[in-house]
Structure 1
Amino acid sequence: MLAALQADLLKVKRKWFWFLVFLGPFGVISLQMVNYGVRYDYLVGGSKDVWRDLLGNLNSFTSLALLLGITILASQIASIEHQQSSWKHLLSLPIKRRVVYSSKFFIILFMLLLSCVLLFVGTIFLGLGLGFGSSPMPLDDILISSFYPLIAGLPILAIQTWLSITFDNQAIPLTIGIFGTIAPFFSSNIPDWFIWKWPTLMGDQEPIWYVAAGLAVGIVILFLGMIDFQKRDVK
């Protein structure tokens, strides 16, 4: 596994993927900088908890950026093998198929975790920059806001990785991922079982429910994808 991870890291080393990892949290933070810059008195003047309100404003964009990031990263990382037609060569090496498959998943997960860390740090600096230092900083809530959506989104990461590796034509996984991303934002009637809704942490359940469900379902889908990849005739 370590060798496979190192090989995949080398493949993405000089790609623009790392820019995307930075762009997600930077974009979310920048939008709120503009938002508070334009409406500071309105947003802060009547607020009873400025940190909690800031997190609420950030959360409305965090899940959107995360879901789009999952879709794009999974597609682009799988495209490296598709474009070079290197699947057969890769699978002819003395390495198990499930290791090859799971390596792609964990590389994407690592990139997304890095984005979450940047978002966590950026949220703290944004709050301090807005003058919220005199109010108690809710580090627990900032951690939840930064990392819970990713854990709740693990099933989506597993699905997009599966689809991106399975289909040579990346229009299919991209279309599914983008449709799933925008659906919860255009309809308030999306049921709680719709997994693309889970990273928003909004619905009839407590946020921890979506996190626990995301972790459990994500592991199941990851293993199903590995089993399918082991049996599939890859071109």
Structure 2
Amino acid sequence: MRLSRQGLLLVVFLAVPAFAAQKPNPFLTQAKVHYQGLEFEKCLKRLEQAGRWKNNTRAEQVEIELYSGLCAFSLGNEEDARKSFSMALELDPKVELPPYSSPRLLTFFDALAQRVPGRTAPEEVATPEPPKPAPAPAPAAPEAPRKVELQPPAPAPQPVLTQTAPAPEPRKKLLFPLLLSGTSVAAAGGAVYFGTQARSEEKRANDRDTFYEDALASQDQARRDARVANVAIGVAATAAVGAVLAYVLQ
């Protein structure tokens, strides 16, 4: 029985380093969040911590250099951006910029990428030829003039004067517009509440004193609150427009 316990402890001891080696770099994940939020200085600080991470893979090293170049370029430091981009291209000649990058950044990065051996140039998209104009239809032959016979106009009927009471103007029903207005106000209040919660969770996730697991949980909660706030904004806007249309159309 003692040997089996020792063997079990040995297996657990050997499995723990292997599991830890597969753990992603938490500072790199936080740096990406700062970059998407246009907080480039905070992103660079997280990237410095990510570079000191002991279990970085080659792909994570490439991303650290790539995002260092992106932040440096966004802050106007093109020299540091050139060094970081060159290091990222040296580690992975096929690395690409994130989607929706600016044209100026693409031009700057492509100028460095062209110097890297083994990198394939982007394929040129062939411009389609303009369609040929369709031939004009032949003019139709003129029709022969028709003979029109004039007939005397029929006598107009004598109007019968009858006095009728004016129809009462229907009163507008305000129940449905009021319901839509209340829905809009409630949805707007929910959007403000969940938006405030999302900002609070994001601030907690970006705090240096927050543990990594708590920071990830706060990031997930911030995304969920932001998603609910966006839905509430859409519901509030839709209900407000519906209330106005219901009042006007009635």
Tell me which interval the TM-score lies in, with the shorter structure as reference length.
under 0.3
Greater helix share, structure number: 1
Bigger RCO of structures 1 and 2 (CA < 8 A, at least 6 apart) = 1
Computing the radius of gyration from Cα coordinates, the structure with the larger value is 2
TM-score under structure 2 normalisation?
Answer: 0.26
TM-score under structure 1 normalisation?
Answer: 0.27
